[in-house]
Amino acid sequence: MSTPLVLTYVGFFVMAAITLGGALMAVSARNLIRAALGLIIALIGIAGIYFVLEAEFVAVVQILVYVGAISILILFAVMLTRGLMKRDLPAQNAQWIAAAFISLAMFAALLYVALSTNWRAVETQVAGDLIPKLGTELMTTYLLPFEAVSLLLLAALVGAIVIARE
Amino acid sequence: MIPLPFYLTLAAALFCIGLYGALARRNAIAILMGIELMLNAVNINLIAFWRYVKPAAPTMDLAGQIFALFVITLAAAEAAIGIALIIAIYRSRDTVNVEEVDLMKW
Amino acid sequence: MPVDYLPILVMIAIVTAFAVIALTLSAMTGPRRPNPTKLSPYESGMPPFGSARRRFSIKYYLTAVLFILFDIEIIFFYPWAVLFRDLGWFGLSAMGTFMLVLLIGYVYVWRKGGFEWD
pLDDT of A43 > 80? The answer is yes
pLDDT of A1 > 60? The answer is no
Query: Which has the closest alpha carbon to A158: B77, B102, B53, C48?
Result: B77
Percent of chain B with pLDDT over 70: 99
Q: How far apart are CA A13 and CA A154, in angstroms?
A: 39
- A58 contacts B69 by C-beta, under 8 angstroms: yes
Q: How far apart are CA C52 and CA B67, in angstroms?
A: 41
pTM of model > 0.90:
no
Looking at residue C23, what is its pLDDT?
94
- A53 contacts B47 by C-beta, under 8 angstroms: yes
Q: What is the CATH number of the domain that holds C35?
A: 1.20.58.1610
Helix, strand, coil shares, percent, chain A, to 5:
75, 0, 25
pLDDT of A84 > 60? The answer is no
Distance of CA C25 to the CA centre of its chain: 32
- From chain A, pick out residues whose CB is under 8 angstroms from the CB of B67: none
Of A81, A134, A139, the CB nearest to C91: A139
Which A residues 37-96 touch C at CB under 8 Å?
51-52, 54, 57, 61, 64-65, 68-70, 72-73, 76-77, 79-83
Looking at residue A87, what is its pLDDT?
58
Contact A64 C71 (CB under 8 A): yes
Q: How many domains does the structure of chain C reveal?
A: 1
Domain boundaries, chain B: 4-100
Write the CATH number of the domain with boundaries B4-100: 1.10.287.3510
Question: A2 and chain C: CB distance < 8 Å anywhere?
Answer: yes
- From chain A, pick out residues whose CB is under 8 angstroms from the CB of C7: none
Query: Which has the closest alpha carbon to A145: B40, C17, B68, C62?
Result: B68
Percent of chain C with pLDDT over 70: 92
Looking at residue C25, what is its pLDDT?
93
Average pLDDT over residues C102-118: 85
Average pLDDT over residues A138-163: 90
Contact C68 B69 (CB under 8 A): no
- A57 contacts C76 by C-beta, under 8 angstroms: no
Domain A1-85, classified CATH 3.40.50.2300, yes or no: no
Helix (H, G, I), strand (E, B) or coil at A142: coil
Which domain covers residue C54, as residue numbers? Answer: 2-111
Looking at residue C112, what is its pLDDT?
85
- A71 contacts B81 by C-beta, under 8 angstroms: no
| Nearest chain C residue to B82, by CA | C65
Question: DSSP readout, A38-90?
Answer: HHHHHHHHHHHHHHHTT-HHHHHHIIIIIIIIIHHHHHHHHHHTTTSS-S---
Residue type for position B52: Y
pLDDT band at A110 (very low <50, low <70, confident <90, very high): very high
Helix (H, G, I), strand (E, B) or coil at B30: helix
- Bridge-partner residues for A88, per DSSP? none
Q: Give tens-digit pLDDT for B38-89.
A: 999 999 999 999 988 877 777 778 888 999 999 999 999 999 999 999 988 8
pLDDT band at A163 (very low <50, low <70, confident <90, very high): confident
pLDDT band at A4 (very low <50, low <70, confident <90, very high): confident
- From chain A, pick out residues whose CB is under 8 angstroms from the CB of B16: 103-104, 106-107, 110
Looking at residue A88, what is its pLDDT?
61
Q: How far apart are CA A52 and CA A46, in angstroms?
A: 10
Of C1, C71, C109, the CB nearest to A161: C109
Of B14, B54, B88, the CB nearest to A124: B54
pLDDT of C44 > 90? The answer is no
ipTM score? 0.90
Q: Give tens-digit pLDDT for A53-80.
A: 888 899 999 999 999 889 989 998 888 8
**CA-based angle C80:C70:A20, to the nearest 5?**
90
Q: For residue B17, what are the CA distances in angstroms to B5, B13, C117? A: 18, 6, 39
